[in-house]
Amino acid sequence: MPKITVLPHTELCPQGAVIEAEAGTTICDALLKHDIDIDNACGGVCACTTCHVVVREGFKTLNEIDEDEDDMLDRAWGLTPQSRLSCQAILQATDVTVEIPKYSINLAKEGHH
Ligand code: FES
């Protein structure tokens, strides 16, 4: 099974982690399954940017970004050329390294504060 190396994130995963997930799983699902509680405000339907991750290694091995994801990504905090919405990024057979950005933009949540 491919491995996902998760770089340390102060709140979600302070020590970093290496997890395994089956090919065909989205990165978001894999993280959640291993108690790395990445935001996924829209429930994984490509309608927010809270599940944004930066794929530091293995970016090219993932499925291609479609137009909807590309449009949403434009609004993500801290966008990089290796950014993906993790709920749309499907693991293939290759290991990847991901970084969860320090901030995410969750308009729904901000509205409640
Ligand atoms: Fe909303 Fe991924 S969870 S786009």
pLDDT in tens, 52-104: 999 999 999 999 999 999 999 999 999 999 999 999 999 999 999 999 999 88
Structural domain contains residue 108? no
In a domain, 104, yes or no: no
Give residue-wise pLDDT tens across range 76-85.
Answer: 999 999 999 9
Point out the ligand 1 atom lying closest to the alpha carbon of residue 44.
Answer: 3
* Atom of ligand 1 minimally distant from the CA of 72: 4
Count up the domains in the chain and report the number. 1
Q: Per residue in 16-39, pLDDT tens?
A: 999 999 999 999 999 999 999 999
Higher-confidence residue of 45 and 107: namely: 45
Range of the domain at 86: 3-99
* Position 9 pLDDT exceeds 90: yes
Mutate to test the pocket of ligand 1, among 29, 37, 42, 70 (most ligand atoms within 8 A of CB): 42
Both tokens of 98, joined, read 């991901």
Asked, for residue 113, whether it belongs to a domain, the answer is no
Query: For residue 15, what is the domain's CATH number?
Result: 3.10.20.30
Probe residue for ligand 1, chosen from 51, 52, 63 as the CB with the greatest number of ligand atoms within 8 Å: 51
Amino acid occupying residue 25? T
